[in-house]
Amino acid sequence: MKARETTPEMRPVDTARPWTPGNSSVASSVRGDHLAQWLPSAGLVVAALAIWQVAAAALQVPRWLLPSPTDIAEAMVTNRNPLLRHTWVTLEEVLVGFALAFAVGVALAIAIAYSRTLERTIYPFVIASQTVPVVAIAPILLIWFGYGLLPKVIVVALICFFPITVNMVDGLRSVDPELVSLMRTMGASRWQIFSKAQLPTSLPFLFSGTKVSIAVSVIGAVIGEWVGASAGLGYYMVRSASQFQTAAVFGAIVVLSALGIALFALVALLERRALPWYHQARKGNDSEY
């Protein structure tokens, strides 16, 4: 939010018009556009579900092997209370883990972009952290940190911080060198260059990284729960699978997907609000978006 106020000089001239969320006529037309944009996607989902439903009935696929959409919906309704309870647990792990990843990821990115020495020291470890097979390390984390929230949070953070760090480092470096020279000439301090030039430039990159990591964050939580938990959607799936309730497993997958999409949409929305100038400019350049 702050970035918006601090960099008026960076806004392309044609988008200098103040952006207000309450601008009703613009907002409603944008919303209409959005609905139209999602129609093909929604149509595809509906068509796929219809084919699935008909095929499952026609081919008499047993429900323990591949439940039909209505079987899944039925399982979700029947188990709505446990499903909701486990969803909250997973959401909590995702949010705490993601917050940790965001804080650590941004801090690492700033450190890496700040000094070559720090970059050479830290970056190899940042990359190495992503080569660790999470499924192998998750059971060990459980034994180190117990069977509560912490090991799941660590798994989520381990998966999530990397796209944030890598993207933000690139963003901090993509600042216009001429702008930096100009600011130096005008006597700007290192902090001013960072906060008024580098940081705003890096924000679109940061949001890209954040979108990648929020989409995979849910996977991290489920892996953490899969190897040992007493609650959460991963645990719910293991238990349902152990009782051959395939429809319930699919129901949990539906919730997980919805959770991932909702979190992604939330970040996309935040991005729109935080970087209105960026989106206005993109809209001008690319008619697809």
Partner 1 sequence: MGARTAHILNPRWAVAAAIVALALVSCQAAPSAPEQAKPAAGSIPTAAPAAKPVSLSVALDWYPNSDHAGLYVAQENGYYRGEGLEVNLYVPSNPEDVLKLVGAGKDSFGISYQSDVLLAAAEGIPIKSVAALVQHPLNSVMTLKASGITRPRQLEGKKVGYPGIPGHEALLSTMMKKDGSSIDRVALVNVGFDLVPALIGKKVDAALGAYWTHEAILAEQEGYPVDVMRVEQWGVPDFYELVLVANNNVIRDQPDAVRRFLRATAKGFADAQKDPSRALDILVKANPETNRQMEEKGIRLLMPLWTDGVPSFGWQTRERWQAYAEWMKEQKLLTTDVNVDSVFTTEFLPK
Interface with partner 1 (CB under 8 A): 62-65, 139, 142-143, 146-147, 226-230, 235, 238-239, 241-245, 286-288
Structure tokens belonging to residue 127: 């990359």
Structure tokens belonging to residue 94: 């995702």
CB closer to partner 1 out of 19 and 145: 145
Question: Taking a C-beta distance cutoff of 8 angstroms, is the pair 3, 274 a contact?
Answer: yes
Structure tokens belonging to residue 192: 């001013």
CB closer to partner 1 out of 21 and 43: 43
Question: Taking a C-beta distance cutoff of 8 angstroms, is the pair 147, 230 a contact?
Answer: yes
Q: How far is the CB of 179 from partner 1 (least distance, A)?
A: 28
Question: Taking a C-beta distance cutoff of 8 angstroms, is the pair 277, 112 a contact?
Answer: no
Q: How far is the CB of 45 from partner 1 (least distance, A)?
A: 16
User: Which candidate, 160, 43, 18, 190, places its Cα nearest to that of 94?
Assistant: 160
CB closer to partner 1 out of 209 and 228: 228
Q: How far is the CB of 274 from partner 1 (least distance, A)?
A: 26
249, with CB counted inside 10 A (0-12, 13-18, 19+), is: buried
Q: How far is the CB of 257 from partner 1 (least distance, A)?
A: 21
CB closer to partner 1 out of 114 and 145: 145
CB closer to partner 1 out of 161 and 235: 235
Q: How far is the CB of 239 from partner 1 (least distance, A)?
A: 6
User: Which candidate, 75, 90, 60, 84, places its Cα nearest to that of 243?
Assistant: 75
Rounded-to-integer distance, Cα 225 and Cα 240, Å: 14
